[in-house]
Chain A
Amino acid sequence: MNSIASASASSHQAGLGLKQVHVRWLITLAVACGAIIVFFPFFWMAVTSLKTAPEIQRVPLQIAPDHWLNFNNYFEVFKREPFLRYLLNSTIVASISAVSSVVVSSLAGFGFAKYDFPGKNVFFLAVVGILMVPFQSVVVPLYVWMNDLGLLDTYAGIVAPDLVSVFGVFLMRQAIETIPNDYIDAARIDGCSELRIFWLVILPSVKPAMATLLIIKFMWSWNEFFWPMVVISSPQMKVVTMGLISFTNMYFIEYNLLTAAAVISILPILLIFVTLQRWVVQAVVMSGLKG
């Protein structure tokens, strides 16, 4: 009796299982097709960057380049434009804003997470409120300031509004909140000053969050376009995103060069992103920020 019941139950499950397997395959297929479509522009960019100008104008279109190891376009990019300089500029700007963001955000995160002072909640709400101010709404006065301070067309001018982001303060506050208060109190009993607690107790325990913030902020600064367009005018101060645009300022766009430049500009970020994706995704999801 018992065995019959269990047998019928298992056969029922097997039937369902078969149907589920079909559905699962269909879902996997759909997800995979979508992923390939999403990935395709990257593939197309890479392939185009390996073709010569006559190759990309072939009709009918030919997908594979004639020579897979034709890197002439890459050399040409550096010859046409000071692209190395653009990469250097972007690296400098993104590094400064990433480091300063980590420093200021972890200080503020510590203050908001572990201290009590009058008006703390008001201040925190004010920081949240900053999220509602679009950068484009403050860009004109910022430009005027930069002009008055003589910072137009300088590294300081590019990084100035990008030194800290609300996202960073959130991320660090959330990370520091998980540190038990006992650790801090123990350090206090041992006679640590508050700054030493920050340095010796807090920072070592939030290294992963700091690294994540460093990478995300670097990525965002590297991809920044609007503000550099506003402050930068001389060719040697351009950042990489602006450098890409300079390949389009022609009546006819040489897409083989443009895609090579795009590969150069995207690759560093993409490599970092793919290697550390798990942490980046976690942080982005945790705060759901950067609209």
Chain B
Amino acid sequence: MLRHQVFATAMRQWFRIAFPRNYLDRRKRAGFLFVLPALLFFGSVFLLPLAQSVTYSFYKIAPGGAKEFVGLRLYEKVLTDPTFWTAVGNTVQLLLFCVPTTVVLALAVALGLNRIANLRWRNVWASMYFLPFATSLVAAALIWQWIYDPIYGFLNYALSFIGIAPKKWLQSLVEVRPAIAAVSVWVRIGFDTMIFLAALQSIPQEYYEAADMDGASAVQRLRYITLPLLNPQIIMVCILELIFNFKIFDQVYATTQGGPAGESQTIIMLLYDTAFKYFRFGDASVMAVFVFVTLMLVTLLQWRLFRKPVEY
């Protein structure tokens, strides 16, 4: 009954906006017309294709365009394919390398920058950390590939001074994932630092003065004031990094192309190859749905756990 009434009211309101009778109606209509282009765009570029992705995942699509409904067969095919799970596993391993590293390093950098009293120098150091943020992932990955070069690369050269034998980095089965993760860390550290630094600067100085009165040590101040107050930002940055790195593609495509021996094959790399190299749109759509559902679950889980949605 109540829902029925709400619906009727909404319909009446929309009718009045479509056929405005007075000035206020026209104003509401103007407001709606202002947001309409954006709504149409997001609807047609994200919502509609998302629905279509879900539909595609139930169809076997021949390269010519002929469709055949196959129910959940493609899900069965993709989700039992070891290649798919290897890619998922690699992606998760990359996440485990780079998300904690980025967040911890960025936090340390932000805490350090916040302690530098000379504003001019603080800005100089800060902008050096921010620079990679403006660089394309492709360029970043290629610069690092040169640094990682097993024979002429700078990294092996630098490590030789502390007695570490040359490594093959991107060409090694063991080191390829940490090496790619390091590129992500390098690119993302500035972004996270920006967010932490802004949050640190908004903490009222009185808290620290009060802690000083009580004779709190630096570690105690960090443990009992700074970190708890930074908690929302830490969670937000963790989620953003998780989402960003789950979609890792550019760096891998530009350097290893998933190699050596598929050790750096990631889920989006697999999706790209499946869709645009082998033109198996159905299989690729199953992966697309998998990616969407996984990232949505992560976001929703975080909303459930921390009540308040991340303040974007």
Contact = CB atoms under 8 A, between A and B. Distances in A.
Interface of A: 23-24, 27-28, 30-32, 34-36, 38-39, 41-42, 44-45, 48, 56-57, 59-61, 104-105, 107-108, 110-112, 114-120, 123, 126-128, 130-145, 160-161, 163-164, 166, 169-170, 194-195, 198, 219, 222-226, 229-230, 240-241, 244-245, 248, 253, 255, 258-259, 262, 265-266, 269-270, 272-274, 277, 281, 284-285, 287-289, 291
A139 B288 contact: yes
Interface residues of chain B: helix, strand, loop or mixed (majority): helix
Given A38-B132, A272-B134, 19 more contacts: A24-B115, A28-B121, A44-B146, A45-B146, A48-B146, A112-B35, A126-B39, A127-B38, A132-B295, A133-B292, A136-B271, A138-B46, A139-B275, A140-B49, A140-B284, A163-B45, A225-B254, A262-B142, A281-B194
Interface in B132-189: 132-140, 142-147, 149, 151-152, 154, 157, 186, 189
Contacts of B227: none
B312 interface: yes
Interface residues of chain A: helix, strand, loop or mixed (majority): helix
A169 B38 contact: yes
A287 B113 contact: no
Contact of B42 (A23, A118, A130, A273): A130
Interface stretch (B22-30, B68-76, B86-94): B22-30
Nearest to B39: A123
B138 A245 contact: yes
B13 interface: yes
Contact of A41 (B105, B112, B147, B194): B147
Nearest to B292: A137
Given A24-B115, A38-B128, A141-B53, A114 B38 contact: no
B288 A38 contact: no
Nearest to B30: A194
B31 interface: yes
A130 B154 CA distance: 42
Nearest to B239: A291
B131 A270 contact: yes
B27 A255 contact: no
Interface of B: 10, 13-14, 17, 27-35, 37-39, 41-42, 45-50, 52-53, 56, 105, 109, 112-113, 115-117, 121, 124-125, 127-140, 142-147, 149, 151-152, 154, 157, 186, 189-191, 194-195, 198, 218, 236, 239-241, 243-244, 247, 249-250, 253-254, 268, 271-272, 275-276, 281, 284-285, 288-289, 291-292, 295-296, 299, 310-312
B37 A104 contact: yes
Contact of A262 (B41, B132, B139): B139
Which of the listed residues A28, A284, A288 has the most CB atoms from chain B within 10 Å of its own CB?
A: A288
15 contacts: A34-B105, A35-B129, A41-B143, A41-B147, A61-B154, A112-B35, A133-B50, A136-B247, A137-B291, A140-B288, A143-B276, A145-B49, A223-B136, A225-B250, A244-B138
Nearest to A225: B250
Given A38-B129, A226-B250, A266 B42 contact: no
Given A35-B125, A229-B253, A117 B32 contact: yes
Nearest to A262: B139
Contacts of B138: 223, 225, 241, 244-245
A107 B105 CA distance: 39
Given A56-B152, A111-B35, A118-B17, A140 B281 contact: yes
Which of the listed residues B121, B146, B275, B295 has the most CB atoms from chain A within 10 Å of its own CB?
A: B146
Given A34-B129, A258-B142, A265 B136 contact: yes
A245 B141 CA distance: 10
A223 B135 CA distance: 7
Contacts of B124: 35
Which of the listed residues B48, B133, B134, B291 has the most CB atoms from chain A within 10 Å of its own CB?
A: B134
